[in-house]
Chains A and B, each alone.
Chain A
Amino acid sequence: MTSYHQITLKVNGETEVVNVPANMTMMVMLREELGLTGVKNGCAAGECGACTVLMNGEPVNSCMVLAAECDGAEVITIEGLSHNGQLIKLQEMLIAKGGVQCGFCTPGMLISAFALLKRNPDPSENEIREALIGNLCRCTGYVRIIDAVKASVEK
């Protein structure tokens, strides 16, 4: 029997109250209860990183978290990265360097890169590669994405 849980969380700065079944993942809650479809459903097994969001400031695979576990959490999705339509430098560079093709990996990739720059504002190429291991891209071959992250921290 599935239990239901009323949870309160902050998503992209807004307080949300949702009633979720125990077997709903955070990814499904964000997409289907809150309409944040920038969170992508890729492998649903913690491998591809397309559903990556920030939970309490740290990137997690939202497919690997139960919605019921999110009570009291602060979540940032790709929708919360830019403010009033103003892209952050990382997003601008990803476009400028050709790091977006089909776009499916892009939200997760940006969240992972954003989290990297928050904990390490001047990463080496190796550190960028390590931080993005959990984000798979089948279009760009990664080089342009890595270039974009590098370009976003250049002065």
Chain B
Amino acid sequence: MLNPHPGLPEFTYVKPASLDEACGFLVDHAGEVRLISGGTDLLVRMRDKAFKPAYVVDIKGLEGTDVLAFDPKSGLRIGAAVPMNRVVAHPDVQKHYPLLAKAAKSVASYQLRNRATIVGNICNASPAGDTLGACLVLGGRLNIYGKDGERFEDLVTFFKGPGKTSLQPGEIVISISFPLPEKGAKGTYLKLGRNKLSDLAIVGVTVYGFPDKMIESGFRIKVALTSVAATPLMPPVVETVLSEKEITEDTIQKAANASMDACFPIDDVRGSARYRKEMVRNLTRNAITEVWGQLQSGTKNRLEANR
């Protein structure tokens, strides 16, 4: 092999000055355009000739894409051009959304996270995206701009398959917003990679729970699974198992089994489907146990503080 690193295929780089201009360009050149924010996935796919867009449109600099703001009344907003390191380092993210910081920090390396973005991770719609689970359980909502103006979509309905989303031609995701976290919420993201850090996930399990008096078990616990189906999953059956009666080792095991049954992974270079299923069960059990332990000590502390 004379040239092990073929360059990027030919394309035209476009940097629109406004959302309207960007949108118009996307409509006029439907099917020929790829958007670039951090480019950490796009450039690899283009180099490998998986994508051959005629135009690469840079969304950095467009209105609202650079916003990273926390409002104690409405929550957090992260623009499409905000690199993951900025999110991880933000004091309000660390304080109110530690799960999101943890998930973002598990992506590749420090220098890659200076380019990679959370919205890019979402729009890329890889079933293995490390931040997808956290964004789902935290109730992420996308702000999307199109030729008819702005619209909002909950992240749960956004993923349609590997690399496929509900975005319509001409649409651009400007930002993702999260409501305020629930009182006393705890969460974790457990990622199984071929090495301990920095690799793509073979299986990813995100668990997020909070006290809820309306629920039989006293806690609402959400579980998101990544890298185990064509899209990220939030199996309702797992949530039901954890809400119907008191949470014990036995119910946690039942929830872990339900997670395993709810996913349908594939065999690939990183792991076999059978291995993935068993790891989903084990990681789900570990993650729920971890979060459950934190929730219990959180409740105890509150009771003592109220005394």
Chain A interface (Cβ < 8 Å from any Cβ of B): 1-3, 5, 22-25, 28, 41, 43-46, 49, 52, 55, 58-61, 63-66, 68-69, 112, 115-116, 130-131, 133-135
Contact = CB atoms under 8 A, between A and B. Distances in A.
B47 interface: yes
Contact of B108 (A55, A63, A134): A134
Given A3-B12, A5-B13, A23-B10, A49 B47 contact: no
Contact of A66 (B36, B109, B197, B198): B36
A59 B110 contact: yes
A110 to B, nearest CB: 13
Contacts, number: 95
A44 B47 contact: yes
Contacts of B114: 55, 58-60
A22 B47 contact: no
Given A41-B5, A64-B115, A134-B108, A46 B40 contact: yes
A131 B109 CA distance: 7
B45 to A, nearest CB: 10
Given A23-B9, A25-B43, A59-B110, 14 more contacts: A1-B54, A2-B12, A3-B11, A3-B14, A25-B7, A44-B47, A49-B111, A61-B112, A64-B112, A64-B115, A69-B58, A130-B197, A131-B110, A133-B198
B111 A59 contact: yes
A112 B111 contact: yes
A43 B112 CA distance: 14
B8 A23 contact: yes
Contacts of B12: 1-3, 22
B10 A49 contact: no
Given A60-B115, A133-B197, A134-B198, A22 B11 contact: yes
B56 interface: yes
Contact of A60 (B13, B47, B111, B198): B111
Contacts of B56: 22, 66
B13 A66 contact: yes
Contact of A134 (B13, B14, B111): B111
Residue of A3, A55, A116 contacting most chain B CB atoms (<10 Å): A3
Contacts of A3: 11-14
25 contacts: A3-B13, A3-B14, A22-B10, A22-B11, A22-B12, A23-B8, A23-B10, A25-B43, A45-B47, A46-B40, A46-B44, A46-B112, A49-B111, A52-B111, A55-B114, A59-B110, A61-B112, A64-B39, A64-B112, A64-B115, A66-B39, A69-B36, A69-B58, A130-B197, A133-B109
B175 to A, nearest CB: 20
Nearest to B10: A2
A44 to B, nearest CB: 4
